[in-house]
Amino acid sequence: MISAEMIEANEFYELAARYNVRGVPQTIINDNAGVVLGAVPEEHLLQEIKRII
Amino acid sequence: MIKSLNNELIDQITELFDAQLNYPVELVYFSKKDQCETCDDTTQLLEEIASISDKLYLRNFDIEENSQLAERYGIHLTPGLVIAGRDQDKLIDYGIRFTGIPSGYEFSSLLQSIILVSKRDSGLKPAIRNQLKELRKPVQLHIFVTPT
């Protein structure tokens, strides 16, 4: 149900630009339905996932 | 050829893998001959990592010659890596992908992912797991990172 892809932003800057990546790490959930900036506790990530779903 | 990992680092990873790896892990890796700046370095890095433990299996596919397989794993960019569990001759896909060279900070994420897959345990808190189990729609995370 959950997949996670780590993407090297320098190498794939066009992809990073498409998702408006401003800093790293930045987590994009379901094609920009949700965004998490920085490394966050798992509760925080879950909260954002539940907010957009 | 100059090695990606120095001896001291290899010793550290050997110790880490000896202590932490449990079930076999398959690194399903897609590369490309041309127009892939970091493929050669990534190939070498993965070969060196895979040689550290007999629980790690590396399979290197050319993305153009194996486009159907790449499609099945949702790999469109190279270097592209799937970190899967291996159960006899079956693969267990946990949906973990690395796109681009896993060097610098990403190197430790790579090792960590290998260990989690090998343990077949996400390491998440029980309360979080229970809530994730209730998800009824697919969740796709793209985590943008840089090596520095």
Q: Mean pLDDT across the stretch B130-143?
A: 96
CA distance B98 to chain A (A): 5
Binary contact (B128, A4; C-beta < 8 A): no
Model confidence, pTM: 0.96
A43 touches chain B (CB under 8 A): yes
B92 touches chain A (CB under 8 A): no
Q: Mean pLDDT across the stretch B20-40?
A: 97
- Taking one residue from A and the other from B, the number of pairs with CB-CB distance under 8 angstroms is 110
Mean residue pLDDT across chain A? 96
Q: Mean pLDDT across the stretch B66-77?
A: 98
Binary contact (A7, B96; C-beta < 8 A): no
Q: Mean pLDDT across the stretch B15-32?
A: 98
* Position B1 confidence tier, pLDDT thresholds 50, 70, 90: low
**ipTM exceeding 0.95, yes/no:** yes
Q: Which of B141, B123, B120, B124 is nearest to B132 (CA)?
A: B124
Domains in chain B: ranges and CATH: 7-133 (3.40.30.10)
pLDDT at B17 over 80: yes
A14 touches chain B (CB under 8 A): no
pLDDT at B92 over 70: yes
